[in-house]
Structures are given as structure tokens and as C-alpha cells.
Amino acid sequence: MELQQIRYFIALAEELHFWRTAEKLFITQSALSRQIKALEDELGVQLFERSKRSVKLTRAGSFLYEQWRRLTEDIDRIHRQARSLHEGSFGFIRIGYPGSLSYGYLPELVSGIAGELPELKIELVEPTDTSFEQLLLNYQMDIAFRRDPAHNPALSSELLYEEPFALIVPAGHRLTKEQFTGLHDLRNEKFILSGLHHGTHYVSGLRQLFQDEGFVPDVHIESDFGGVIMGLIARGLGVSVLPGSYAFGAPPDVRFIPLPQRTSLYVTWRRDDHEPAVKRVLEVARATAKKFE
């Protein structure tokens, strides 16, 4: 018994006319008759009652029609999913990201994935106590967006775009964009920053900002969560330096002053990962990055 024979049977059961069914299937009427007869002989079951004027399903034929129709629908669905997996448009992918992407790039990326790959399920992961690299290598994440390139040779990284750092102050702060001459203007201010003792590429960039200005900031509060930092600034508890993309989700009580220094965004994935979904999401990531260059 072959799947094609079952499809011929289902088509005839729905049409109940050999000539019209054969025409619909693009085969000859005699070929259709042979296929149905072979199916009946193999099953040892009569499927149709035939006369010169009509074709009717037997009780056994009606039973098999219902069962096989559902079965072929399931098979077709499975085949569609297999094709989608092969094309990278179906399945599941885990994406890691830093908090600074939450307001600009990340929503645009997810919107792009939803439009291009509507059947692909996404899990968004914002790591706090485990490195992006370790999560990728442990297959707990498939793609990671980072402020620095990966160093492990098992991973690939690609620069997507650069964006300026920004000084963030309360809305009523004495400094405005027009009055600002450099970070040294804030030498005596209390800062809210990521821990400057961390060894990440991003924090190295922050340290360099202040080294260039010739002073060490008075870090009054440490936090790695930009949304929290902006909320504290809005309450007048200090000032900060963050990637400029935080402006997309800034509360109304803070002011952004762009800085000349820039920070980078990289996308990282396992070098030997040939999953089509990873390839498709990388394509969407590159296209999305062009909007933020």
C-alpha cells in the first residue's frame, strides 16, 4: 500500500465519479481503476459499490475515508513543518540581549522576525549572572547580541552597528546640550553606572570615557540595568552614561546629551551551527541594524 494509492482513494471517495476523479488527478480512468482495485485486493476489503450509473462507498470504505483523510492531513501538516524547519521559518530560537536593546533595536528585530518568520517561536533571554558565551556554548542560547565581540574560537561575531554614548541627567539639571562642554562638567556629580571594575568590553569603553576627561567618577549607585538607572535619574539621584539607544524608552523626567564616543553592537552565534532558523534570524538582524546605523 502506498500513500499515493490512499490519495487516489480519498479523491474518488469525494468525487464518486471515476472519469471526473481521473481528470482531476491527471491520470487515465483505467489507471485509477487499477490503483483502486490493487488497494482493495491488498486490504481484502471492498471500498466502492460500482454500477454503470453510480459509485458509492461501502461501509468499510466510508470508515477508511474518514480515517485516511485525517491521516493524510496530519502527514501534509508534518511535511509542511519539515519544509519550514529546513527553510528556517518554523521551530524555536533563543535570543540573548543586553538591556540597552530593549527600547529600540530589539522590538524592531522581533517585529521583523514576526513578519518574515511568523511560525518561528522566540525566547528572549537577558542574562545577569551567566556569560553570553557560556550560554551559547551550552546550547542555552542560539544567538546573542553583545556590546563586545566573542573571544572563544567556537563562536562567530559580526559588528552590526555603532551608536553614540549619551550623558543622562534629570530633566531639571543645570546642564543642557548647548551648555555641555565635556564630562569634566560633572566632576562633582554623583554617578549611577555599571560597576567599572567589570572586565567587559562595554565597561572598558566607559572607563576610557572618564580617563579621557582626566577624572574618576563618584559612583554613588551601581547597576547593570539601564531601565533602573533611568528611573533613579528621573528621581534626581544622580547622572549616568549609557548607550544612546536608551532614549527610545526614556521616561519624561530625564534628558539625553549625546557624547562623541561610541559603543558597538555585535551579534554572536556558534560557528558550527548550521540551523536554517539561525541563518534566517541573522539575515533579519542585519537588515534591522541598517535602520540604526
User: Which residue range forms the structural domain that includes residue 149?
Assistant: 90-160+266-289
Task: Answer yes or no: do 167 and 259 share one domain.
Answer: yes
Q: Max alpha carbon distance in the chain (Å)?
A: 102
Cell of 172: 531639571
Task: Answer yes or no: do 273 and 248 share one domain.
Answer: no
**131, 135, 136, 137 alpha-carbon torsion, rounded to 10°:** 100
Task: Answer yes or no: do 96 and 184 share one domain.
Answer: no
Which of 88-123 are b and which e, b meaning 16 or more Cβ less than 10 Å from the residue's Cβ?
A: bbbbebbbbbbbbbbbbbbebbbebbeeebeebebe
Which pLDDT belongs to residue 129? 52
Task: Answer yes or no: do 272 and 149 share one domain.
Answer: yes
CATH (domain of 150) = 3.40.190.10
State pLDDT tens for residues 150-184: 889 999 999 999 999 999 999 999 998 898 989 98
Q: What is the mean pLDDT of each run of 10 residues along the chain (293 residues)?
A: 87 89 89 90 91 87 91 78 57 86 90 90 78 85 90 94 94 91 91 83 84 90 89 94 88 92 92 88 95 83
CATH (domain of 73) = 1.10.10.10
* Total domains present in the chain: 3
Beta bridge partners of 94: 123
Task: Answer yes or no: do 254 and 169 share one domain.
Answer: yes
What is the pairing mode between strands 190-193 and 119-125? unpaired
Task: Answer yes or no: do 67 and 200 share one domain.
Answer: no
State pLDDT tens for residues 99-124: 888 888 999 999 999 998 888 889 99
